[in-house]
Amino acid sequence: MEVIRAGTAGFCMGVSLALQKLEAALRERTADTERICTLGPIIHNPQVQEEYAAKGVARLDDPEQARPGDVVVIRAHGVTRQTEERLRAGGARVLDATCPKVKKAQLAIARATAYGAVLLLFGEADHPEVRGLVSYAGGPAHVFGGMEELTALPLPVDRPYVLASQTTQDRALFGTIEAYLLERLRKLTVLATICDATRERQEEARNIASRVDAMVVVGGRESGNTRRLADVARAAGIPTYHVERVDELQADLFAQNRRAGLTAGASTPKSLIDAAEERLASL
């Protein structure tokens, strides 16, 4: 089967930087007793998480699990301001591996809402990046996942508002949301917080999906940007398979296909994308 592979598939800049910081922490460990930890998964990819667990990296799910002297790497998605403060107060040595694009969004939200403006954040309420972004708001905050949730919010027109987005959201939908709010609110500041890499990946996935019989998206199921790539492909009306592991690509799924598209989330290792391409090409 012919495979069209996305040039943008694989690690983004923020993920690469986060893993470089974790690798540096492992190299610079001063004693075998010194714990190197991440707060939550360093990135949303199960294979990468397994790799670092095998290297002795401890995953903490709560800042209270950190011990004095631990090296705690803040993951690419970032954490809340309160969480970082608790880590430092507990005696941990914090290495901030927050993606620069996420950090820029956090600081932009802090500045724009410093005098009490209401934050309207387009994103997944339970995603760690979104919880971190909301923690930087200087006033009230509403998180919504789409137009239906947005239109249900009580928004008095005389208040100042700030519109921002999770960095991996759909830019086209954000544009629709922006136009809707500009028509209804008197005071609205719009922050451009969607990462360019996200836009480029979604546009390429949309382009490839228009030329193939089926689409494969490789990446962790916890990864928001990977799920949205799959949504973009499905919107083209073709069968789309979001897989974490190559053995999920069963031959019978592609029995009627001559050409498949292949892309991957921003936290998917190149080795996994290569293996998926090889598997598809062999069918």
Known binding residues are: 12, 44, 77, 99, 127, 167, 195, 223, 225, 267
Q: Which of 124, 129, 244, 277 is catalytic?
A: 129
Is-contact 216 5, C-beta < 8 A?
A: no
Is-contact 177 163, C-beta < 8 A?
A: yes
Cα(86)–Cα(64) distance, integer angstroms: 8
Is-contact 213 262, C-beta < 8 A?
A: no
Residue numbers belonging to the annotated binding site for dimethylallyl diphosphate: 44, 77, 127, 223, 225, 267
Among residues 201, 203, 207, 208, the alpha carbon closest in space to that of 223 is found at 201
Cα(28)–Cα(25) distance, integer angstroms: 5
Is-contact 42 49, C-beta < 8 A?
A: yes
Phi, psi of 263, rounded to the nearest 5 degrees: -140, 175
C-alpha Rg value of the chain to the nearest Å: 20
Residue 129 annotated among the catalytic residues of the structure: yes
Among residues 67, 76, 66, 73, the alpha carbon closest in space to that of 24 is found at 73
- Burial string for 267-283 (b: 16+ CB within 10 Å, else e) reads bbbeebbebbbebbeee
| The residue type at 76 | A
Is-contact 155 161, C-beta < 8 A?
A: yes
| Catalytic positions | 129
